[in-house]
Structure 1
Amino acid sequence: MYRILVTGGAGFIGSHLCEYLLEHGHKVICMDNMFTGTYDNISPFFNHPHFEFVNSNVIHPFHMEVDRIFNLACPASPIHYQYDPIMTTKTSVLGAINVLDLARRCKARVLQASTSEIYGDPIQHPQAETYRGNVSTIGPRACYDEGKRIAETLFFDYKRQYGVDIRIIRIFNTYGPRMLENDGRVVSNFIVQALHNKDITIYGDGSQTRSFCFVSDLVIGMVAMMEQDDFAGPVNLGNPCERTIKQLAEMIVDMTGSHSQIIYKPLPEDDPVRRKPDIALAKEKLHWEPSVALKEGLTKTIRYFMEKY
């Protein structure tokens, strides 16, 4: 049994990770400032004897005794991370410093939840971990993209300078129950619009691609990476099954029986045109690959939104 800190633990992915860790017998400290996390996500755990919730912001130094740290603290959808871009950068950078300082003091292993966004609008396709990216330092998405890139730098500098036991994953598009209705992500947007028979909004012509990984697959990959003894990463975690945004919209309309029409709006600045992970390294090092097909995952996600909203 480990005593594990999950920062951002009340969020979409964080709450699923907390649930998985509790089910596998660990003690979990969930730390979140509730900017995008919700009490609904974690309320089922409040009576669990091994669950503790701390309402705090990762940008402030904190002290506790832990064996493992999963650092997921940062708003991940454009609507939320662009709402206060300076705070987003602080969360990535100061948050990384604070969890690394804690890991150094406790001699804990610490995993950074980085992102496919560090590749920017990629020229290389699919994206392997060796690709350094095609990124803007001054665009509206830079607070998130560059904040995550700096966090990766800090993690490796703490490893080299202080010997901190680090792990880094790069998360590609993930979906599933507990996504926020208003988070601006394409899966939740399309499902909510379809369920209300509203127009499905596609930005651009719909030919841009994404690769969608169901949240349970991602959590298994995250835990597998944390338990690697001789591999710090970074490693891509995502589903390499690439779909166009238009295909996704049509699939959701069909699965919900919606009467929604698809409409098109201009593509936002710096929005990536193609996104697909190369997961050869994850297969080799973690013996991991996603198992939940898109239709199966969408069925579960649609059911969640139907029951929730």
Structure 2
Amino acid sequence: MKIVVTGGAGMIGSNLCARLLSEGHDVVAIDNLWRGSLDNLRATCGDNFDKLAFLNADLSAISDWAEALRDADCVYHLADIVAGIGYVFTNESSIFRKNLLINASVATAAEMMRVKRYVYVGTACSFPLHLQSGVDAAPLKESDQFPAHPESAYGWSKLMGELDAGYMAKYAGIETVTLVFHNVYGTPCDYKSNRAQALPAIAYRALQGRQTGVLDVWGDGTQGRAFVHVDDIVDALVMGLSKGAGAGPIQIGPNVCTSIGDAARTIVGIVDPKIDIRFDASKPVGDKGRCADYSKATEVLGWKPTVTLEKGLRSMVDWIAAQEGL
């Protein structure tokens, strides 16, 4: 197939491109390298990197990049502006506006170029805040999205993209799949910039803690997430090549919520059990806790999570340690 991956140089995108190339597809990755990198693609694609077509482009406005979508069998729309909660809650207006522009441009180009299938990636951040009440909150169902009340501008912007994808299916006749991701982790990842997300940032600071004896963690540790490894995410995306069209939003994530405190303790157990964890309740924590009822993903796609959190964290810690020589 001819497949286009927007945000193709990010953690998820680079792993997806590698899988698709290994299966013999013709793949075009589009990314402006704001967070992603060609090094990510080189690392994941290996010997297949030279088979990948790459475009460095800003997707917030239609330009020459749109031609790459012409007659594509599938467009995976992963590109958006997202980062850790510190960045998300201090740049809400720019994130909201930019994501609306990116979603509108990619959807418009997909219609113009007559793509056959459009896989849109949403986020659990789009669920109502009051349903994300803690680690013991009931697993979210897709029907819980409305009435809508996301906590962040990021959640709102991604929800608008979901609605846009639904209208595309209804009025443009394009097969549309909407996958709603919970908190994805894995490698290659950003772990030390101000845009790094929770688990890789904690893992990096824990590795530094071998010298300092201390790991600082944002929040009081009680806030939780449904962490899902990038390998499981790629499985779901590949399943979306042939399944899920017209099924509405499909959550991809585990039905267990893990507290940041427990995740940090697992990481410390991997790195050095003698490290002392210090929680900083003055820092932003985001939603208190959520997880997924993934029964729809199982029914429609045949998907379920397979990578345990401890296995995934150990792999990520080892990768970061190798990058830093720690």
Q: Please indicate, yes or no, whether the TM-score normalized by the shorter chain is above 0.5.
A: yes
The CA deviation at 1:229 is: 6.0
CA contact (8 A) 2:138 2:291 kept: yes
CA contact (8 A) 2:126 2:149 kept: no
Q: Which residue of structure 2 lines up, in the alignment, with residue 67 of structure 1?
A: 73
* 1:290 has 2:305 as partner: yes
Deviations 1:251-273 (A, max 9, x none): 11111115432222236567111
Q: 1:263 to 1:229 in 2, by over 3 A?
A: closer
Alignment partners' CA distance in 2, 1:191 and 1:239: 21
Q: Which residue of structure 2 lines up, in the alignment, with residue 188 of structure 1?
A: 200
Alignment partners' CA distance in 1, 2:288 and 2:39: 34
What is the one-letter code of the residue matched to 2:188? Answer: R
Deviations 1:112-151 (A, max 9, x none): 11100001424262111000268657x6x31x11110111
Alignment partners' CA distance in 2, 1:23 and 1:91: 32
In structure 2, runs of 5+ residues without a counterpart are 132-136
CA contact (8 A) 1:122 1:274 kept: no
TM-score normalized by the length of structure 1: 0.90
Q: 1:13 to 1:80 in 2, by over 3 A?
A: farther
* 1:42 has 2:47 as partner: no
CA contact (8 A) 2:2 2:27 kept: yes
Q: Which stretch of structure 1 is more off in the superposition, 215-224 or 79-88?
A: 79-88
3-state SS, counterpart of residue 226 of structure 1: coil
How many residue pairs match? The answer is: 305
Deviations 1:199-246 (A, max 9, x none): 333333212221211110111011112321644421000122322111
* 1:224 has 2:230 as partner: no
In structure 1, runs of 5+ residues without a counterpart are none
* 1:58 has 2:59 as partner: yes
Higher-helix-fraction structure: 2
Deviations 1:9-67 (A, max 9, x none): 10111111111111111111110011111121013548645311100011121222222
Q: Provide the aligned C-alpha RMSD in A.
A: 2.3
Aligned residue runs from structure 1 range 56-95, under 5 A: 56-61=57-62, 62-64=66-68, 65=70, 66-77=72-83, 78-81=85-88, 84-95=91-102
Identity of aligned residues (%): 25
- Partner of residue 108 from structure 2, selected from 101, 119, 124: 101
CA contact (8 A) 1:8 1:32 kept: yes
Q: Which residue of structure 1 lines up, in the alignment, with residue 179 of structure 2?
A: 169
CA contact (8 A) 1:58 1:91 kept: no
What is the one-letter code of the residue matched to 2:145? Answer: R
**Large movers: runs of 4+ above 4 Å:** 44-47, 79-84, 133-137, 267-270
